[in-house]
Chains A and B, each alone.
Chain A
Amino acid sequence: MRSKTRITTILFLATFSLLVHGASRHLVAIKTKLTLTGSGRDQQNGIILIEDGIIKEVSPSLKIPWNAEVIDESKHIVMPGFVLAHTSRGLERANESMPDVPFLSTFDAIDPFQSFFRDSLRNGITGMLILPGNSTRFGGTGTVVKPTGKLVEDMLIQKPVGLKISMSPAGGQSRMGHVQQLRAYLDGAKKSLDKWNKQAKDPKTPKPGELSPALKTMDQLFKGTLKAFVYCPTASDVIRAIELIQQFKFKAILVLGENTWKAAPYIKKANLPVILPPDIMFFDRNPDTGEMKQVILPTIFAKMRIPFAFQCDPSSYDARTLWQVAAEAVKYGLPKNLALAAISSTPAGMIGLGGKTGQIRPGMEANLLVLTGDPLDPTTWIDKVLIGGKVVYDRKKDEYLKLLLKGSQK
């Protein structure tokens, strides 16, 4: 039904554009000093040609069309915008106190005026998935937004994306009880859906009523159109999460806590992508000997070839922004291309923006960052942010940044 609408729209648009003879084509060409494409080969003195917000060509030897708007960034580095695959910011409250609320959507609660969005944009995030918090069982579905716009409808990229499931006991319950409730809920939902489907297919029985909102969400989960973002604070939770994922056969991404690294071989075996905690390095204390051991999470997961994305936490000192986390990871020995992938293409794939953002190549949306230097150098500024080929952030016009800097100079 929807695809039919889409086709109609495209046909209509095509006809219309033919009528006005290409007058609506908007071309933008960006000259760069260096293009970090994120897809293997970086280009010196590159030119990026954008047509209606979509990258058309990336090449150093490109002839810029006469009617293209030229943005000259030939002293700057251009790279794909960052993507944040998991956050519960931008909401007034992260969790409902009732633990089983899969029918909720963060779309109904996003507050576009929270400073988090302004800060995210300044730090180069062009797309993010906002999910309910971790203190829940079935917390609700997430929304992918861009951090610009005064209405949540303006910010929206797509929804629903991802269902938050948490393995951390909610509401004062024991771990055993929490897991039992998870299993019981999944089991109950599966049975109800089977019954409903059977009734819907059987011509002899009367047609069943519409599915409840909660069952609709669970239906999407079981059908695979919705991925579960499963929060696992401990290594044992990972084992149980994998058990649930395999028993009920749904697609999942693990949102990990610090101590989960011990379960990495099992994550590899289950072939699941992960989102690492904001603080990627910590010291693990051996309870028997008291010895402290440095654990660097990204190198562990990189060596095992488990796809991973970073997340940031504005309240953490070490992991305030995505580039900061990536820079830390490089400091601790992660190859730079993997670190950049973990804040751009990998998270983009996780939240369903795989073919749209995270890389600079033809066909992708022009979500770009213009940088004054190397992206992981702390002295580098993000000069401009482009979303859909439009400049949505310009450092020169960032009044709030001026205020911030003024404060620090005093």
Chain B
Amino acid sequence: MTFTRMRITTLSMVGLFMVLLSGQGALQAADASPHQAITGVTILMGDKVIADGVILFKEGTILAVGKNVKLPKGTRTTSEKGKVLMAGLVAADSLLSAGPGADPHSINTQLVAVDGFDYFSSFQAQLAGGTTCAYLSPGDNRLVPGLGSVVKLGALPEKAIVKKVAALDSVLTPKALNPPPLYSPKPYPLPSELFPHQEGQLPSTPASQAAEFRRFLAQDNPTNTALKDNKLTLRIRADSVAEIKTALTIARENRLSPVIVGGREAGQVAPEIRRAKGTVVWRCPFNFNRVDTRDPQAPVEKPHLYAYTPALLEKAGVPVVICGATDSAQDLLSAVSFAVAHGFPREKALAAVTSQAASVLGVSDKVGSLDKGKHADFILLDGMPLAEGTAILKTYVNGRMVYEHQGLKKQAQAGDTLLKNALVLTGDGGHYPATDILIDKGIIVAVGHDLKGPARAKSIDLTGKVVIPGLIDLASRLGTHYFGADNETNVPPFNGGSTFLLSPGEIIRPDDPCFKASLEEGVMGILVRGGEGSVVAGTGALLMAGAVRDDFLVKPFACIDVDLSGSSWLSRLNQFKSLMGRLDAYEKAGKQYRDALEDYTHRKPRDTLNRMKEPAPPGVNPQYELLIKARKREIPLFVRVNRGDEIAGVVKFLAGETGFACNLVEAEGMLRAPHVAHLINGVILTPPFQRRIEGKMVDLPKLLEKKGIPFAIASDGALGSLYLRYYAAEAVRRGLSPDLALRALTSVPARMLGVSDQFGVIAKSRQANLVVLDGPVFTPGSRVQMVLLKGNVVYKRSGQ
């Protein structure tokens, strides 16, 4: 009796643990029937599409798929009407089990990748992307790192292994060129040979990689016999044309048909791979899970060059399997979409991450398709897998639901304003037609299709309208001259010296009617800058047109103007250098004071003689304080320079040696200073954009575009901020792309000021300062229809 009770307790505990592990709410064992079915779904089975289909499965195995499936009595049925169901994705390469640590041998045929696998990880990131099965590579930094395994993700530990030994991995990429010194003591040390010496081992060059690989394959051992009898697949990691060719040659010599993994440049040698009966596991070069931190205006580089590889391989008749850019078996659908966007046939796309992948791994009898008898691994989507915006709702592994999308439920999130169905130009290159923007308390919380705000949210229909971020003018004197109704006051421009410490923001009158005029033209961020002339000419204040009180002055010291142009630029630069010297001395004095104060505050309590005197604080120089901030890149430097030699000398010193965030004003001589381009944060251009430089007509925006230097377009006017868009339109008329022109008015100036986390872009968590136009931004006839400041409509065009 006691025994039985104990048994039951144990059993229920085991059950409870299963539940804990799987995250499921109900005890499976308690259910009456082992049969489960999902009905009403569109089922994708290779080429076949079954509308309103049913899938029946039991104990992790598919029993039947079709339109009319007879369900046994008591089957637990879930209806998923309108949803799409397809086989779970198979990641043909991953380093999921290769944790930290490296192995001492450059050739190891006994190591099995599954020995490093974490059976108890929940793999939610992978399952969220639909990956249910993955190849575990034994490593990518040894010539022959070992044997790879195929596992299920999210399965119970005892059901995780699909195939313990699936392939022998080898690596011909440069990553495998650093073998450690071999230290291989005999298992049973002898008195004569207790501590054997270290030996070097091959390979450390590609040539010895090939030689060592040949020597290994010529050996007579069980692994090689299995390879030759086609019982074991040979996978070769190779990216460049040279590596792939080496792989093919060695495989041909040994009469093996290799699986090329990586295959970055495989498109170039597609016919050769075809002849060698090779297969390619192509790794997408673009990581969708990482923010691309490259400059939005930087020239489009490498990854896209190889984006056509799968299409080329397919054309040549080479079987292609696609996997994501990371080592962690994620982003398979994104990688496939990427390949399709670059010419890979759409009808073969899904096979490249399911059935084709499974057959390359030698597990197509178990996973990769929805046939009867296969494992019940599948994903449920809310649309066709490659359509825009389709989300994976649920993922099943071995018939158990192991992932459920949480975000969709939460999407009816906080929000007070919803802009619907507009063409959204994000300001950093994004171009999204028929898109919604959800705003909560002045901050953008979501940008996407069919967003659902709470019922109380104010909805504004913007069908046919264009939404851009509020424009930013980096050169303005707005508000320093007051054109009131009655009398005109004129505040003199600041000219270095004492006015340096004064933020222009403090003397500006927010009630200047010019601000309203600017706002109505969509110019919201206005940088009012001090004068020119002195070496350190003044500071600039960032204002927000249309805002009141605290919101009006966004940043009192938003930039420091430095003028190093003109014939005496060398002496000016020397002046600036000596200023840097004084700055160092000032900083040093400050540090000495802090150290002395530290010593003083921690003096011995029994210092009765009071030998230590409290140190006297050094004088505070607010000008130096600002420059120190600038040197820490907290405040950008706006440097006026013109000729090419000036630019080279000044930028090298300011940005290269001293480390300022260095933005150039005008910089006509950019033509002559190409080798410092990488040090420049950005250039501020003011009209006219076409200038005669050294006897040649130069189009400055186009020149900077060609050199890949980001630039902002500014008005440089006392009144004229409102014409900012028209200045840019002029540049567009002369051949600047509208995309770059919009960036030059939004994201680039925001980045130059270091405020792009709040302004200049339409994206999540940015301030909802938006401009609504009734047509393309730079078409002369387009007019500003509405302006939103922090989500509130501050201007609306009347009488349309």
Mark A residues whose CB is within 8 Å of B: 98, 100, 169, 172-180, 183-185, 188-189, 192, 212, 214-215, 234-236, 239-240, 259, 262-266, 268, 286-288, 303-305
Contact = CB atoms under 8 A, between A and B. Distances in A.
Contacts of A262: 17, 21, 120
Contact of B117 (A183, A236, A263, A303): A236
B101 to A, nearest CB: 4
Given A173-B101, A174-B101, A236 B118 contact: yes
Nearest to B157: A239
B99 interface: yes
Nearest to B191: A212
6 contacts: A98-B185, A173-B103, A212-B188, A234-B118, A235-B119, A266-B157
B110 A184 contact: yes
Interface in B363-383: none
A305 B10 contact: yes
Contacts of A192: 188
A176 B98 contact: yes
Contacts of A98: 185
B129 interface: no
Contacts of A174: 98-103, 116, 139
Given A214-B187, A265-B13, 8 more contacts: A173-B101, A174-B101, A176-B113, A177-B103, A180-B112, A215-B188, A236-B120, A265-B18
A262 B157 CA distance: 10
A43 B14 CA distance: 38
Contacts of B14: 265, 268, 304
Contact of B111 (A180, A268, A286): A180
Interface string B246-284: 000000000000000000000000000000000000000
A236 B119 contact: yes
B138 interface: yes
A176 B146 contact: yes
B11 to A, nearest CB: 10
Contact of A169 (B10, B101, B111, B121): B101
A172 B102 contact: yes
Interface string B199-220: 0000000000000000000000
Nearest to A180: B111
B115 A176 contact: yes
B128 to A, nearest CB: 9
A176 B138 contact: yes
B6 interface: yes
B185 A263 contact: no
Given A180-B146, A184-B110, A304-B13, A175 B116 contact: yes
Complex A-B, nearest 3 residue pairs according to Cβ-Cβ distance, in ascending order = A179-B115, A174-B101, A176-B116
Contacts of A169: 99, 101
Contacts of B13: 265, 303-304
B122 interface: yes
Contacts of A172: 101-102
B9 interface: yes
A214 B139 CA distance: 31
A166 B88 CA distance: 36
A268 to B, nearest CB: 7
Chain B: interface size category: 35 or more
B108 A180 contact: yes
Contacts of B17: 262, 264-265
B124 interface: yes
Interface string B151-191: 00000011000000000000000000000000001011110
Nearest to A266: B157
Contacts of A214: 187-189
A192 B185 CA distance: 17
B187 A177 contact: no
B118 A304 contact: no
B104 interface: yes
A174 B142 CA distance: 12
B518 interface: no
B769 interface: no
A301 B99 CA distance: 29
Given A179-B115, A305-B6, A173 B102 contact: yes
Contacts of B100: 174
Nearest to B7: A305
B122 A287 contact: yes
Contacts of A263: 120, 157
B6 A180 contact: no
A327 B515 CA distance: 73
Contact of A239 (B113, B119, B139): B119
A177 B103 CA distance: 6
B62 to A, nearest CB: 27
Given A214-B187, A303-B9, A175 B115 contact: yes
B97 interface: yes
Interface in B13-35: 13-14, 17-18, 21
Contacts of B110: 180, 183-184
A268 B18 CA distance: 14
A401 B158 CA distance: 53
Contacts of B104: 173, 177
Nearest to B158: A266
B235 to A, nearest CB: 16
Nearest to B123: A288
Nearest to A287: B122
A234 B188 CA distance: 29
A185 B189 CA distance: 13
Given A236-B119, A265-B14, A265-B17, A176 B102 contact: no
A368 to B, nearest CB: 32
Contacts of B115: 175-176, 178-180, 240
B108 A177 contact: yes
A100 B187 contact: yes
B187 A185 contact: yes
B772 to A, nearest CB: 38
Contacts of A288: 122, 124
Contacts of A287: 121-122, 124
A188 B186 CA distance: 11
A183 B112 CA distance: 11
A179 B111 CA distance: 8
A100 B185 contact: yes
Nearest to A167: B115
B187 to A, nearest CB: 6
B511 to A, nearest CB: 49
Contacts of A189: 187
B97 A176 contact: yes
Contacts of A236: 117-120, 157
A74 B121 CA distance: 56
Nearest to A189: B187
B10 A304 contact: yes
Contacts of B6: 305
Contacts of B139: 174, 176
A287 B111 CA distance: 29
Interface in B55-112: 97-104, 108, 110-112
B569 to A, nearest CB: 56
Contacts of B102: 172-174
Given A184-B110, A263-B120, A175 B99 contact: yes
A71 B83 CA distance: 82
A265 B99 CA distance: 25
A179 B146 CA distance: 13
Contacts of B158: 266
Nearest to B21: A262
A189 B108 CA distance: 19
Nearest to B121: A287
A266 B122 CA distance: 18
Nearest to A192: B188
Contacts of A100: 185, 187
Given A303-B9, A305-B6, A175 B101 contact: yes
